């Protein structure tokens, strides 16, 4: 069988085959392996689906070297996310070694109540993420501490992760400091602050719903943390000084340093703090041998924590379980997942799968509500297929722009719809870079926290509901709506 000399459009069956294959294989992986599917089986499923897409593209006239270049370019676009994952892994390792993680848990147990923990966690993450404009930094710092507190309160890790993610994505969607908010505004070619004002309505309602749900999920009753706090004090010396790495990361984020730089400097700060306040612990962890100089043993211990994480052996089960974690190596399965997902996304975008599936839908939409619903569905589908929220913001925005213009709709409606659906739903897909990051950082599988990521679920649904209800359906001045082509 030979391929045409020039690339040909895909048939509907050819376009749907790679997507259907991926969904079927991932579903089978989940059935056979459960949450362990992220440790390899899902990556195999993505690789097989990629090869199916490559074959279809080759049949339709796309040279194999161009398909290879598309996959490589797509993976290259995720290098930033991969390095952030490595930085977060190293941060967790050194913060565990220094006691920063335990300090967050120790003082959190004194301040927070299990009755209101979920709603408080959501609110705290919302404030932090709006201030710094990054869900990833929020989850990788405050979120980790909140997960530790929840574990010591015997609260649900899935609900806690949902609360953390719900709050964290408020900033990603609505903060003027957020790169995804800026990208959504650029996709609609609208002023950033006009875009933020419109997005704030949907995001504010979604956050209010999330807070209400987490309030009702709070567990009433007495909670005695004295035994766990005694165990923590017996293993680690607790002091507010241990919060210095956290303060450094938040401060660097406020000064708009790139997330990788902020987080990795925070990891190095955690290692330096461990060397100063707990050098005996670092030396014992390094196991460098009796003849090694003290400074060299300390260097080895910090280096190990950055690379492979900290392994605690205090004898206190609660403490050892909480701080035996981290290291760049802990993120390798997630990076593997992101690489295979991005390769799949690059190939299906190159061969025109998304355009073939979405084009007829746009033409069929007759009302504003239907058009907005189609855009939300297209953004979510792009998040699923390409595994990248930035592609899910840019590509559907480009495809739907003319349809919004023909109906006389304001460009800010396009950007608001993209922001309300593209950014939040990226965390709900296990192989999307955002979903993979959240699961790896918080230690909770995507499908486990998904029902409790209330903000992320409510935001796209509210976007659709507002369009059908005619709320904030904005039109360009002097624009005349054109009937959609039949």
Domain ranges of the chain: 80-330
Q: Residue range 457-482: average pLDDT? A: 83
**Which residues, 6 or more positions from 293, have their beta carbon under 8 angstroms from its beta carbon?**
none
- For the entire predicted model, the pTM comes to 0.77
| Average pLDDT over all residues of the chain | 86
Instruction: Give the pLDDT band of residue 486 (cuts 50, 70, 90).
Output: very low
Question: At residue 220, does pLDDT exceed 70?
Answer: no
Percent of the chain's residues with pLDDT above 70: 95
Instruction: Give the pLDDT band of residue 66 (cuts 50, 70, 90).
Output: very high
Predicted confidence (pLDDT) per residue in 7-56, tens digit: 888 898 998 899 899 888 888 888 888 767 778 888 899 899 999 999 99
Least Cα distance to 198 among 40, 410, 50 occurs for 410
Lowest mean pLDDT among 246-250, 339-343, 356-360, 379-383: 356-360
Burial class (CB in 10 A: 0-12, 13-18, 19+), 186: middle
Instruction: Give the pLDDT band of residue 212 (cuts 50, 70, 90).
Output: very high
- Report which secondary-structure segment, H or E, holds 196: helix 192-217
Angle between helices 244-254 and 259-277 (to 10 degrees): 160
More confident residue, 30 or 328: 328
Instruction: Give the pLDDT band of residue 271 (cuts 50, 70, 90).
Output: very high
| pLDDT computed for residue 485 by the predictor | 43
| pLDDT computed for residue 223 by the predictor | 65
Angle between helices 389-406 and 353-364 (to 10 degrees): 30
Alpha-carbon distance of 203 to 420, in angstroms, equals: 7
| pLDDT computed for residue 467 by the predictor | 92
Measured CA to CA in angstroms, residue 125 lies from 159, 198, 240, 403 at distances of: 14, 22, 20, 36
More confident residue, 120 or 177: 120
Question: At residue 289, does pLDDT exceed 80?
Answer: no
Structure tokens at 474: 């904005």
Predicted confidence (pLDDT) per residue in 228-250, tens digit: 778 888 878 888 999 999 899 88
| pLDDT computed for residue 483 by the predictor | 47
Question: At residue 182, does pLDDT exceed 80?
Answer: yes
More confident residue, 317 or 342: 342
């Amino acid at each position: 069988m030979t391929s045409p000399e020039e690339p040909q459009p895909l048939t509907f069956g050819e376009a749907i085959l790679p997507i259907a294959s991926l969904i079927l294989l991932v579903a089978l992986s989940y059935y056979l392996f459960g949450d362990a599917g992220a440790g390899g089986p899902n990556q195999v499923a993505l690789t097989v689906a990629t090869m199916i897409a490559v074959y279809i593209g080759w049949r339709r006239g796309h040279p194999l070297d161009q398909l290879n270049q598309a996959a490589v370019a797509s993976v290259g676009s995720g290098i930033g996310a991969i390095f952030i994952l490595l930085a977060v892994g190293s941060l967790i390792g050194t913060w565990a070694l220094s006691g920063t993680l335990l300090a967050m848990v120790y003082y959190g147990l004194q301040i927070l109540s299990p009755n209101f923990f979920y709603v408080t966690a959501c609110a705290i993450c919302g404030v932090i993420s709006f201030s710094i404009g990054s869900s990833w930094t929020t989850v990788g710092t405050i979120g980790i501490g909140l997960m530790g507190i929840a574990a010591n309160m015997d609260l649900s890790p899935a609900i806690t992760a949902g609360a953390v993610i719900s709050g964290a994505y408020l900033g990603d969607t609505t903060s003027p400091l957020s790169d995804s908010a800026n990208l959504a505004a650029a996709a609609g070619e609208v002023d950033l602050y006009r875009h933020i004002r419109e997005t704030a309505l949907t995001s504010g309602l979604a956050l209010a719903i999330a807070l209400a749900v987490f309030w009702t999920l709070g567990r009433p009753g007495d909670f005695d943390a004295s035994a766990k706090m005694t165990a923590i004090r017996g293993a680690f010396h607790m002091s507010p000084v241990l919060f210095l790495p956290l303060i450094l990361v938040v401060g660097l984020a406020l000064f708009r340093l790139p997330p990788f730089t902020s987080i990795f400097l925070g990891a190095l700060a955690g290692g330096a703090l461990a060397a100063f306040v707990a050098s005996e612990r670092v030396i014992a962890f390094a196991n460098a041998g009796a003849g090694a100089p003290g400074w060299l043993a300390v260097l080895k211990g910090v280096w190990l924590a950055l690379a492979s994480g900290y392994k605690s052996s205090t004898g206190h089960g609660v403490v050892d379980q909480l701080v035996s974690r981290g290291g760049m190596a802990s993120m390798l399965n997630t990076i593997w997942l992101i690489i295979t997902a991005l390769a799949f996304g690059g190939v299906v975008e190159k061969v025109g799968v998304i355009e073939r599936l979405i084009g007829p839908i746009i033409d069929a939409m007759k009302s504003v509500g239907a058009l907005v619903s189609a855009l939300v569905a297209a953004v979510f589908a792009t998040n699923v297929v390409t595994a990248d929220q930035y592609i899910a913001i840019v590509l559907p925005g480009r495809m739907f722009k003319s349809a919004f213009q023909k109906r006389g709709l304001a460009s800010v409606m396009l950007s608001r719809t993209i922001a309300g659906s593209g950014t939040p739903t990226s965390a709900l897909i296990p192989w999307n870079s955002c979903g993979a990051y959240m699961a790896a950082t918080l230690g909770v599988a995507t499908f486990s926290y998904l029902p409790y990521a209330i903000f992320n679920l409510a935001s796209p649904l509210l976007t659709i509901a507002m369009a059908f209800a005619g709320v904030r359906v904005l039109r360009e001045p002097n624009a005349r709506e054109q009937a959609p082509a039949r």
